[in-house]
Amino acid sequence: MSELAGRVALVTGASRGIGAEIARELARGGARVVVGFRSQREAAEAVVAEIAAAGGEAWAVQGDVATAPGCRALVDAALAQGGPHVLVNNAGITDDRLTLQMTDEQFTRVLDTNTTGTFRMSRMALEHMFRSRDPLGSAIVNVVSVSGLKGNRGQANYAASKAAVLAMTRVMAQEMGRRKVRVNAVAPGFVETDMVADVDPRVTEEALRMIPLRRLGHPTDVAPAVRFLAGPGAAWITGQCLVIDGGMTA
Ligand code: NAP
């Protein structure tokens, strides 16, 4: 099924982990994909090569979403291809520390990437999506986290950053619906990527005990949901958050 044929998708943080799989999955759906990255050019180019080998089209584009010029570069790359019709705000970082030890810098650094980055990327993409009056509509999918729904020890910065993005998701959905722009979120649980590679094995074991489906997540568990929310099957869904966590928060 190529339900995204003719669409240009822009995925931030697509060099690795969940974002890389989202880029591959949107390409499988027929989208041409801008593969955003911050520092790992080779990894992003490998994702582009995989998509090309499977018959798709993609471009690796550098841009730090914590900066306005970085966001501009990513959105401009999608504009040059006639998009973006789909924006996936996936780029994200953690910097865990218990609240009493967390510095102001640690707090704001995480919000700069996860929250301000998502806001700026969305505003710049929406300028195009809103004006284009595309009869097929456009979609933004924000990758938040169960940490932003229920809170996690050591993640005052990260949980706040993701809860804020979820709030923005609802606001933008209300503002943009009249122009057929849909804004949704996915909230993954514990997904095996570089982001959680250094987590204490005891924390992993504890997480496993809390997951009814008895395994950690994989990027392939998240990407199909993003593809669904980006596509025509979700034409009447906006302002929602789909939790993908093996049942952990059920
Ligand atoms: P990851 O493996 O650490 O990959 C992070 C990606 O984000 C990389 O592509 C990185 O680019 C990019 N990135 C980081 N800071 C950036 C910036 N300032 N500007 C542009 N790109 C930036 O992370 P992941 O686990 O796949 O996480 C992806 C998203 O899912 C994040 O938003 C994360 O919060 C969310 N999430 C993850 C989990 C989990 O358990 N893994 C759970 C819930 C939610 P470079 O490669 O170029 O550095």
The whole-number pLDDT of residue 248 equals 96
The whole-number pLDDT of residue 203 equals 87
How many C-beta neighbours within 10 Å does residue 137 have?
18
Alpha-carbon span 231 to 250, nearest angstrom = 26
Q: Please determine, for residue 82, whether its predicted confidence score (pLDDT) is greater than 90.
A: yes
User: pTM to 2 decimals?
Assistant: 0.98
Dihedral angle sign, alpha carbons of residues 95, 40, 122, 238: negative
The whole-number pLDDT of residue 29 equals 98
- Biggest alpha carbon–alpha carbon distance for the chain: 51
The whole-number pLDDT of residue 214 equals 95
Query: 18 CB under 6 A from ligand 1?
Result: yes
Query: 21 CB under 6 A from ligand 1?
Result: no
With a CB cutoff of 8 Å and minimum separation 6, the contacts of 115 are: 160, 161, 164, 165, 168
Q: How confident is the model at residue 239 (pLDDT cuts 50, 70, 90)?
A: very high
Q: How confident is the model over 202-223, as a mean pLDDT?
A: 95
With a CB cutoff of 8 Å and minimum separation 6, the contacts of 199 are: none
Tokens of residue 22, six digits = 């989202």
Q: Please determine, for residue 221, whether its predicted confidence score (pLDDT) is greater than 80.
A: yes
The whole-number pLDDT of residue 224 equals 98
How many C-beta neighbours within 10 Å does residue 44 have?
26
Residue range 164-184, pLDDT digits in tens: 999 999 999 999 999 999 999
Given a contact cutoff of 8 angstroms between Cβ atoms, the answer to whether 36 and 14 are in contact is yes
With a CB cutoff of 8 Å and minimum separation 6, the contacts of 16 are: 40, 43, 193, 194
Q: How confident is the model over 101-107, as a mean pLDDT?
A: 98
Q: Which of 56-60, 151-155, 195-199 has the lowest mean pLDDT?
A: 195-199
Which residue among the candidates 59, 158, 190, 228 is catalytic per the annotation?
Answer: 158
Q: For residue 35, how far is its CA from the centre of ligand 1 (angstroms)?
A: 13
Q: Please determine, for residue 1, whether its predicted confidence score (pLDDT) is greater than 80.
A: no
20 is catalytic: no
